[in-house]
Amino acid sequence: MTLLSEYYVPGLHIEDRSIKVPLDWTGHEPGHGFDGESISLFYRVVTAPEHVHDDLPLLVFLQGGPGGSGPRPLGPSSDGWIEEAIKHFRVVLPDQRGTGRSSRVDTHVIEGMDGGGKAGAAFLKRFLADSIVRDFEHLRRTEFGGARWATLGQSYGGFLTLTYLSLFPQGVIASFTTGGIPHVPADATDVYRHTFPRMAAKTKQFYERYPIDVERAAAVADILQSRKVALPNGDPLTVERFQCLGSDFGMKPSFERVHWILDQAFLDGDGSASTSAELSDEFLSSVMDATSSRPLYWPLQEFIYANGELETPICWAAQRVRGEHPEFAGDIRPLNFTGEAMFPWMFEQERALRPFKPAMDVLMEDTHFGTIYDADQLARNEVPLQAAVYFDDMYVDSGLQLDTLSRVGRSHYWTTNEFEHDGVHGSVVFKRLFNEALNRGDLEELF
């Protein structure tokens, strides 16, 4: 292993490490040598200080996203699942390719590519689940002696879990997922037809909790429709971008975060809602921060549903489904907020996303993608899978999750409405999943 540094944060021993993996896995097998262009895969190994020299089993964390880097823990309790996991495991925290310290991809990388978007499109396809999972399997085989490990997948990490169980089930001894079982067969349009009604329902719940924000949101939208407003980074603030504040509505305490952003929107007098008032600098800065995203998050968003050869191109699935829901129009009141959905205007209005537009135009018409799910392999799966399904999940529909789990061998699930999509970051969810698997005997090879 290439050890870059070793240190402690309070309550945790951390090793920073890195290996090389192929940019393009075509023709290469994880665990073997490779030629051609390589990229760095960065990962951390985290243990409790009292277990530094103990030979504990491995748990690899499959981060949500897409385009999400691994956690940067401030201590054991800063991310609730870690506090429980380090009691039993050495925890491996990879930065998925293109994120964090793993050959990071951003505008600087994409804008230098030519070929009318074709080069960028081919490049971005190398950062999807089939490549990510091969990176992790290569890491397991080369740096951990081939020892089978347990996986914990949060959100998109649950998608990666089913890819792992489809392609390399022999590498996994047990799996846990939280809010992240994809629908198999995958279909982006079907996903958004389930989630847009949830977006409207979440907006309704928000207004029921904070009725004053009906007037505030309407006033902001009216201002944005009547005159040009720029964010601090120069991007235009349009109604569509303002509606993206709802992307956070599936987390806790997102209603409160948005409420307090709206509370400081207006400059005049006592700050009450007014279409004649100026929008405050603090409000504009808060909206910019809340609606900006990691560089790969929006570009990859709809392609996480692309499995193998598609019958039809994805062709901006969320935008097409939004067109079926006139209640999300910018001039409808009360104003509806949108959730985790990518739209074409983002790659025109947002400076950080504009360099991706040529590649996006190509990808949206593409039908050739890597295989990420093998339904037959999942049906005969022998790796114990314990899933937390959040009944009111705004991002990953619970009905679709349960439908998939009904067709995955050795799968068990706990359905709850006690938590939102980010429940794993508290102290309850992973501990319950771990104990259920332990008490069922699914972890007898580990403990």
**Within a 10 A sphere around the Cβ of 230, how many other Cβ atoms?**
11
- Given a contact cutoff of 8 angstroms between Cβ atoms, the answer to whether 91 and 61 are in contact is yes
Alpha-helical segments (H) within 337-408: 346-349, 357-363, 375-379, 398-405
Q: What is the β-pairing status of strands 172-178 and 149-154?
A: parallel
| Domain 2-117+128-186+372-440: CATH architecture, name and number where available | 3-Layer(aba) Sandwich (3.40)
- Given a contact cutoff of 8 angstroms between Cβ atoms, the answer to whether 200 and 336 are in contact is yes
The secondary structure element, H or E, covering residue 298 is helix 297-300
Report the C-alpha gap between 433 and 429 in whole angstroms. 6
What is the structure's pLDDT at 293? Answer: 83
Instruction: Return the domain boundaries, the chain.
Output: 2-117+128-186+372-440, 189-363
pTM confidence score = 0.97
Report the C-alpha gap between 371 and 161 in whole angstroms. 14
Nearest CA among 426, 428, 340, 433 for reference residue 385? 433
Residue with tokens 């998050």: 297
- Given a contact cutoff of 8 angstroms between Cβ atoms, the answer to whether 86 and 48 are in contact is yes
Length of the chain: 447
The secondary structure element, H or E, covering residue 153 is strand 149-154
What is the structure's pLDDT at 421? Answer: 96
- Which positions of the chain have pLDDT values less than 70? 1
- Given a contact cutoff of 8 angstroms between Cβ atoms, the answer to whether 178 and 186 are in contact is no
Nearest CA among 325, 343, 345, 251 for reference residue 290? 251
Residues 6 or more apart whose Cβ sits within 8 Å of residue 285 = 231, 232
Nearest CA among 113, 132, 119, 121 for reference residue 366? 121
Q: pLDDT for 120-163, tens place per residue?
A: 999 999 999 999 999 999 999 999 999 999 999 999 999 999 99
What is the structure's pLDDT at 1? Answer: 60
Report the C-alpha gap between 369 and 127 in whole angstroms. 11
Report the C-alpha gap between 394 and 5 in whole angstroms. 39
Q: What is the β-pairing status of strands 12-22 and 38-47?
A: antiparallel
